[in-house]
Structure 1
Amino acid sequence: MGHALQPFDEDKENTVSNPIYLALDLPRLDNAVALAQKVRQHVGGLKLGLEFFCAHGHHGVHEIAKIGLPIFLDLKLHDIPNTVAAAMQAIHVLQPSIVTVHASGGRAMLEDAKAAAGEHTKVVAVTVLTSLDDGDLSRMGVAGSAHDQALRLADLAQEAGLDGIVCSGHEVGAIHKRWKNGYLVVPGLRPAIPGVSHGDQKRTVTPSEARNAGASVLVIGRPISRAEDPAAAARAIEATL
């Protein structure tokens, strides 16, 4: 096992004031590092998802952490409580600022995940994936709308003592009203810029709309990572907040 990472100490003012986390899910580690270096002055943190973690593991996280920004491990852990707790303990050494679990894993799993997390790690529960809509949920046997399900799962996460949740921009305002101090993460954002595709995201809003509705963290990927000039794209989005 490698040595524990030292807490980041660079760009502290920027990470506090800038809620943008860049989704850094690239297949090659050198490309991910290069992209992060380009935008580091214009984002508040870096999100590493399942694709990145499966490809690069602890080593990849260590390399990205050298850039000096907070790390968001978006692993969406979902298993029996004991297994999720063990997984959470296994990533202590990486000192992530944020880790995701699935709210649908149930209260016991959520409680054990939070209890096993590092002291400085926020544990947030994914409510309804932004790739799902009402029709998808209906086919899965979930009654009500995506909005209703997100609120139910947000209530469960709050009752379980988590730090916050992940939801689409369509639900963040309603959840913020119910959970004033919740740490609310909103992915699937698409800036109001000509030519920006929604891709596989079905329930999207703009970064400024999500921020104004109460989002704590704005997760943005392709609009920055696939831009001709990623740093300029990040600056442009930051300027709208």
Structure 2
Amino acid sequence: MRGNLSAKDRLAVALDVTGRDAAMRMLDLVSDEVGVIKIGHRLAYSGGFGLIEELAKAGKQVFADLKLLDIDQTVAEGARSVAATGAAYLTVHAYPKAMHAAVEALGADPTMRLLGVTVLTSMDDEDLQEAGYAVPADQLVMTRALQAQQASMPGLICSALEASSLRAALGPNMLLVTPGIRFAGGEAGDQKRVVTPQKAIADGADILVMGRPITAADDPRAAARRAVEEIEAGLAERG
């Protein structure tokens, strides 16, 4: 599956806006330029949850970035509920029990792909230490990635900085989805582990998540086109 993605299908725009009206205004600008629409907590909890099903019925690939983590039954029921909306992707925190519960809930051949969140790209080694982890980010990411593979998760959320090492460790089939993507010279914002679109793809990432570099640009449509062009360059570099 991952090798058949077009350049456009490798770009997910993060609709990190408040309310349905703001989301629809942004979609009018960029929906024809991107392959995946990501809906996270901010939009989902401000009246946008219904957009997941609405956009899916309209033929859009929707990425429900809800980061499930709870007791096994709750995760399983949540995964089934989101799958019923027609979402193409759903995030689950990469804890072994949560991942196993979600995978088992969806069955052997799910249409929605689960993505295990390894370590947030807004966190670095110091943040992890403060949170009680005794290992650096790259080591924790690898541990959780291997656990995800053991749980039969189809994909991971990781920094593009880790894409090359994860691809080498996990093989060709694991879908690597990378936030923290910024254009060269752009502001990192609250992200700490960032990579350009071209380099992320060249290093083995499959789908790039971009929010503010597109949605806060003077011309969001042009920014999305620029991202797709860089993805095409990264694919050519990858060979």
| In the alignment, structure 1 residue 117 sits paired with structure 2 residue 125 | no
| In the alignment, structure 1 residue 204 sits paired with structure 2 residue 203 | no
Q: Separation in 1 of the partners of 2:22 and 2:53?
A: 15
Partner SS, residue 94 of structure 1? coil
Q: Could you tell me whether the CA contact under 8 Å between 1:71 and 1:97 is conserved in 2?
A: yes
Q: How does 1:77-88 map to 2 (within 5 A)?
A: 77-88=68-79
Shift of 1:57: 4.9
Q: Which residue of 1 aligns with 2:223?
A: 233
Q: Separation in 1 of the partners of 2:146 and 2:88?
A: 22
> In the TM superposition, what whole-angstrom CA distance separates every residue of 1:151-192 from its partner, at most 9, and x where no partner exists?
110000000110011001111110011112101000011111
Which residue of 213, 221, 234 maps to 2:211?
221
Q: Separation in 1 of the partners of 2:174 and 2:31?
A: 26
Q: TM-score, normalised by structure 1?
A: 0.88
Give unpaired runs (5+ residues) of structure 1: 1-13
Q: Separation in 1 of the partners of 2:203 and 2:228?
A: 16
Q: Which residue of 2 aligns with 1:189?
A: 181
**1:56 counterpart letter in structure 2:** G
Q: Separation in 1 of the partners of 2:57 and 2:220?
A: 20
Q: Could you tell me whether the CA contact under 8 Å between 2:68 and 2:91 is conserved in 1?
A: yes
Q: Which residue of 1 aligns with 2:234?
A: none
| In the alignment, structure 1 residue 148 sits paired with structure 2 residue 139 | yes
Higher mean alpha-carbon deviation, 129-138 vs 139-148, is at 139-148
**2:60 counterpart letter in structure 1:** L
Shift of 1:34: 2.1
In angstroms, what is the RMSD of aligned CA positions? Answer: 1.7
Mark the CA change 1:224 to 1:240 in structure 2 (over 3 Å): closer, same or farther.
same
Mark the CA change 1:229 to 1:164 in structure 2 (over 3 Å): closer, same or farther.
same
Q: Separation in 2 of the partners of 1:87 and 1:160?
A: 18
Give unpaired runs (5+ residues) of structure 2: 232-239
Q: Could you tell me whether the CA contact under 8 Å between 1:33 and 1:64 is conserved in 2?
A: no
Partner SS, residue 161 of structure 1? coil
Q: Separation in 1 of the partners of 2:57 and 2:221?
A: 19
Q: Could you tell me whether the CA contact under 8 Å between 2:56 and 2:86 is conserved in 1?
A: no
Q: Which residue of 2 aligns with 1:138?
A: 129
Percent identical across equivalent pairs?
38
Q: Separation in 1 of the partners of 2:205 and 2:113?
A: 15
Which residue of 67, 70, 91 maps to 2:61?
70
Q: Which residue of 1 aligns with 2:92?
A: 101
Matched residue count: 224
**1:116 counterpart letter in structure 2:** A
Q: Could you tell me whether the CA contact under 8 Å between 2:62 and 2:89 is conserved in 1?
A: yes
| In the alignment, structure 1 residue 91 sits paired with structure 2 residue 91 | no
Mark the CA change 1:69 to 1:60 in structure 2 (over 3 Å): closer, same or farther.
closer
Which residue of 157, 167, 170 maps to 2:148?
157
Mark the CA change 1:95 to 1:63 in structure 2 (over 3 Å): closer, same or farther.
closer
Q: TM-score, normalised by structure 2?
A: 0.88
Q: Could you tell me whether the CA contact under 8 Å between 2:52 and 2:86 is conserved in 1?
A: no
